[in-house]
Structure 1
C-alpha cells in the first residue's frame, strides 16, 4: 500500500517549497529537499509549473506507478510515498540523495573521480538497468542520462526519474497515441533507432547507457558545439576504433598503465552499446559480465605490482643497511 503524506507537513518541511530548498529541476518536475517532523531528510518532487497549470499528472502518476511496483533495489532510488495539494496536483516523496548527480560530478565538480571509482559507477548504473530489463514484464526506462543518476551519502549511484518509464507487455497497443506511448527521451542520449512506438525495446536503454559510459570515461559533454563532431558518439567512436584511447579519456587524471587494458576494453563495450545496428548491441547482462571480468583482472594485477614494488623497496633497503654495516667495520 502506498503511504500518503500530509501535504501540510511537506510544505513545512520545505518552508512552503521555497526556492532555497530546490535541489533539482527538469522539464517534468521540480525537486525539493525537506526535513520531516521526525527529522528524516527526503526529496519531494512536484510537477513543473506548466504541468501544474494544466493539471497534468501523467508523468508523476507514471513515476509513482513505476516506483511503487518495483521491488527494493540498491541501485534504484527508494520511493517513500505520495501526497497532493488542494488542486489535486500529485507530489512524490523519495529518499534524499545528498551527493547530487553524476552530471554535476562530471561537469561541475573540480575533483574528478578516480578510474576505479568510474568503473564502480559504471557497474552500479549497469546493474540498475539490468534490474529493470529483468522485471516481468520488463521495464524500459527511456531517459537514462547522467542527470538522472544520483549519489547517496555513501556515493552509491542510483537511477532516478521514472516519469517516462514504460512496462513492455507483449500485447502492447502500438496504435495508442499519448505522451507515454510515443518515442521519448533526452536529446543526445536518445537512441536514433527509436523512431516509432513499435521500436521500443531494451536496446534503447542500452544505447543511452553507452552514451553515459562514454561520458563517465571522457568527462566530455554529450553535445559539445566546440567540436567538429558535436555528439559524443560521433567524436569518440572513430578514436576508439583507431585505438587512440587516451584522447578519449579524461585528461585531468593520469590513466595508470595497469588499467589501460581495462579502460580500452570498456570503451569498446561502450562502442558496441551505441552501434547503429541494434542487433550488435549487447544485453545489460553481457555488459556487466564484460566489465566485471576486466575489473577482476585489475584487482589481481594491482596486488602483484604492489608486491613487486614492495620487494624492490625491501631489497634496496637491505642493500643500503648492508653497505652501512660494512662501512662501520
Structure 2
C-alpha cells in the first residue's frame, strides 16, 4: 500500500477546495486529486480520489466507518470489479481535538482509484443522463455480480458489503462498473480461525436495499448482499427507484414480483429504452434472477457464483449479437455476397486444382473494399 504526505494531498486538491469536491457520503467527503506522488515508491498518479472524514465526524471523533473501510480494503487483493484502495495519508495535527483522540484516526485519509463517470444512480435517475442501452445494462449487472462473487468467495473470510445500491456502483473511464464504499462492510468468518470482530455489529444498510431477514447480528450472511443485488437488478431493468413514495406499492420488490410471476415483462422494463428483440431473453433472465435473489427465505436465494453463471450463459451471448450496429451488419452481408460471387465465378478447373492441392481461398475483404462494392 502506498503512503502519501498530507501536504501533497492538500496541493493535489487545492487545499481540499470546493472545486475539487466530487462527492459526499455518510462518513466522509471525496475530492479529486491531481499529480500526486507516493512517498516511498515515488510512483506518480495523474488523478486519484481522496476520501477524508467530514468535519462533523471529525468534531465528534467518530471515524468508525472510515476506519472500517481502511481495515477491509487494505486486506483485499486488487480487483477489476472494485474501486481499489491505493494508499493512505495521515495529517499531523497537534490540536486539542487530535490530542484527545487516543487512536489518532481522525487524521487518516484514503487515496482511492478515480472513477470519472459518476454512479449507476446518476445514470438511471438523472434527467440529464442518456439512458443506458440494454447491452450496457446487462454488462453492468454482470460486473456487479462479479464484484460480489469476488467478495463472497475470498479465502479464509468472505466480505459482506452490506450497502449494495446504485450510488455505490461507480464507472471508470471505460464505463466499467465497480463497487465502492466499504464503510459498512464486514468480514464473515468461514474458517476455524479466531473471530475477526470483538463484538457483532448491528444490522445496517439502506432502506429499500437491506435484506428484510437481516434483523439481528446473527443474521449476517452473504445472502444479505444477494438480496440487495436483486433489488439493484430490478432497478437496472426498470429504472424505477427502490423506494418511490409516489408509486403504489412504494417498494420496487413488491411492485415487480407479481409482474414477474405473471410473465408480464413489458410492465417492468424501462419504457424510455425499447429493448431489441435479441435482448428480450436476456432481460427475462435478469428478472428471473432478480426474483430469486429477493426471496424472503435466505436459503432459497442463489449464491453469487450461480448468479454470475446464469447471467453469463444468457446475457453475454445476446450482448454479442447486439453489439454490431446496422451499418456493420450491412457490411457483413455485403461481404458475404461478394464472397459468394467470387466463388461462383471460379472455373471448375481452378476449383478442382485448389481442392487437389488442399488450398482454400478465404476471400477476405477490407471494409474499404466492401464499401467500394456498394458504389
CA RMSD of aligned residues (A): 2.4
Matches within 5 A, 1:202-217: 202-217=222-237
> Are residue 94 (structure 1) and residue 93 (structure 2) matched?
no
Q: How many Å separate the matches in 1 of 2:176 and 2:163?
A: 19
Which region of structure 1 is more displaced relative to structure 2, 103-112 or 126-135?
A: 103-112
Compared CA separation, residues 257 and 39, structure 1 to 2 (3 A): closer
**1:267 — aligned with what?**
287
Q: Secondary structure of 2:145's match?
A: helix
**1:221 — aligned with what?**
241
**2:139 — aligned with what?**
120
Shift of 1:110: 2.8
The count of residues paired between Structure 1 and Structure 2 equals: 309
**2:363 — aligned with what?**
none
Instruction: Answer whether contact 1:203 1:281 (CA < 8 A) is retained.
Output: yes
**2:7 — aligned with what?**
8
**1:66 — aligned with what?**
72
Instruction: Answer whether contact 2:145 2:308 (CA < 8 A) is retained.
Output: yes
Shift of 1:36: 2.9
**2:88 — aligned with what?**
82
Which region of structure 1 is more displaced relative to structure 2, 15-24 or 30-39?
A: 30-39
Instruction: Answer whether contact 1:189 1:211 (CA < 8 A) is retained.
Output: yes
Instruction: Answer whether contact 1:150 1:160 (CA < 8 A) is retained.
Output: yes
**1:325 — aligned with what?**
none
**1:324 — aligned with what?**
none
Runs (5+) with no aligned partner, structure 1: 319-329
Q: Which has the larger radius of gyration?
A: 2
Runs (5+) with no aligned partner, structure 2: 37-43, 99-103, 342-375
Shift of 1:297: 4.1
Instruction: Answer whether contact 1:214 1:232 (CA < 8 A) is retained.
Output: yes
Instruction: Answer whether contact 2:144 2:178 (CA < 8 A) is retained.
Output: yes
Compared CA separation, residues 166 and 39, structure 1 to 2 (3 A): closer
Instruction: Answer whether contact 2:279 2:319 (CA < 8 A) is retained.
Output: no
Instruction: Answer whether contact 2:135 2:319 (CA < 8 A) is retained.
Output: no
Shift of 1:310: 3.9
**1:105 — aligned with what?**
123
Deviations 1:10-36 (A, max 9, x none): 111111211221111111111111113
What is the TM-score of this pair, normalised by structure 1?
A: 0.88
What is the TM-score of this pair, normalised by structure 2?
A: 0.77
Q: How many Å separate the matches in 2 of 1:125 and 1:78?
A: 15
**2:260 — aligned with what?**
240
Shift of 1:217: 1.0
Compared CA separation, residues 205 and 4, structure 1 to 2 (3 A): same
